[in-house]
Structure 1
Amino acid sequence: MLVKALVFPHFDYCSALFLDMPEEQMDRMSRCMNAAVRFFTGRKRWEHITPDYINNNILKYRSRIKYTCVSLIAAVLRSAEPEYLTRSLVLHSAVAERQTRTDDLCLSVSGAATTCGQMSFAIGGARLWNSLPLGLRKGFQRPGIGADLRRYLLDLQSGG
């Protein structure tokens, strides 16, 4: 798994910023990652690559971005640092004064006028956080949320 140690960190560098990456660029990055996986598994170009992702417990590029973003959100919620991110990531319970149907672990999502603003870390990340199952969001105080999140994303990726 030398590729996991030497190549994949380059894909993960600042990946939480890539929530708003255009689909065309996302596809290019996914193809680059597929090429790296094909290189170390020996799979030919015309062969399907998904079994290699599943067998080696590798998250696909889009899932890696989600993993990094949600891990960063959990760390910010847990430590309340840095302050500028804490101000933009507010739990719904701190905002709502009346009874609502949402649970207390949803992040409030503010509006943005532009498409770029809609996919910013504060808004796109909050939507991503709110889309997670409640059981996973409840564990954000534990340092082990990363393993649970990874397992959840791998299950989604494999169709489970």
Structure 2
Amino acid sequence: MALACATRATIKHDSDLSLKPHINKVTKTAYFQLRNIAKVRPFLTKPDAEKLVHAFITSRLDYCNALFTGLPKKSIEKLQLIQNSAARLLTKTRKMEHITPVLAELHWLPVSYRIDFKVLLLVFKAVNGLAPCYIADALSSYTPARALRSADAGLLRIPDAPSKRIGESAFSYYAPRRWNALPQHIREAESVDIFKRQLKTYLFNQAYT
């Protein structure tokens, strides 16, 4: 996977590409930090507490999360539980209360959608000449066999899944599928900032409606 080149020095793949060692390390560290934040939470305002959560928890969930495409559902759920715990701590929500409305109120994208956000942002930068060549080289424009409206819709070619082991989790396969599913006006955003705003709104609606 081309994207792995960027982080091979900081994240080690296990033999089945499940990233279990990394997920376990993130989980252990995040809960340690949550316990520390819980100790001072009574003395903090909500905005100040949220800054701590983003600094010590969200940053870890987001670190290199573009590599999490296609992870087993169990691994994603472990990361989601961390975010859920952070939201409960921040809002002082009881464990018995449903967490989805809390996440929506905080305007936090669930973990799986945060992964897609990062992947799609990389794609946007790549197709607009703003990403490293190893990412751009993993993508190619879709060229229909004959003149169609889709010829100028900014679509990407979806290659065959490279192997049974990597399969649909490969960046070169996963990213074009997610990109092509976006509304055309988002793919054609005029700047990175506009794209990020429109993409977050789109993913937020996908997650909570």
| Normalised TM-score (structure 1) | 0.89
Corresponding residue to 1:109 among 137, 158, 162: 158
How far is 1:115 from its partner?
Answer: 5.0
2:189 aligned with 1:143: no
Shift of 1:84: 2.3
**2-structure distance, mates of 1:59, 1:84:** 28
Partner residue, 2:78: 28
In structure 1, distance between residues paired with 2:148 and 2:169: 25
Q: 1:76 and 2:126 equivalent?
A: yes
Is the aligned partner of 1:98 residue 2:157?
Answer: no
Aligned residue for 1:108, secondary structure, equals: coil
> What is the aligned counterpart of 1:120 among 163, 166, 170?
170
Q: Give the gaps of 5 or more residues in structure 2.
A: 1-49
Contact 2:168 2:174 in 1 (8 A): yes
Q: Give me the whole-angstrom Cα distance separating, in 2, the residues matched to 1:8 and 1:108.
A: 32
User: Offset at 1:80?
Assistant: 5.5
Task: Name which structure has the greater RCO, CA cutoff 8 Å, separation 6+.
Answer: 1
Task: Report the Cα offset of residue 109 of structure 1.
Answer: 0.8
- Which blocks of at least 5 consecutive residues in structure 1 are unaligned? none
Distance 1:62 1:26, change over 3 A: same
Equivalent-residue separation in structure 2 for 1:118 and 1:156 (angstroms): 21
Matches within 5 A, 1:56-67: 56-67=106-117
Alignment identity in percent? 26
Task: Give me the whole-angstrom Cα distance separating, in 2, the residues matched to 1:80 and 1:65.
Answer: 19
CA distance in 1, matches of 2:178, 2:86: 27
1:42 aligned partner: 92
- Whichever of the two has the greater Rg, that structure is 2
Deviation at 1:25, TM superposition (A): 0.7
Q: 1:87 to 1:96 in 2, by over 3 A?
A: farther
Which residue of the partner structure matches residue 129 of structure 1?
179
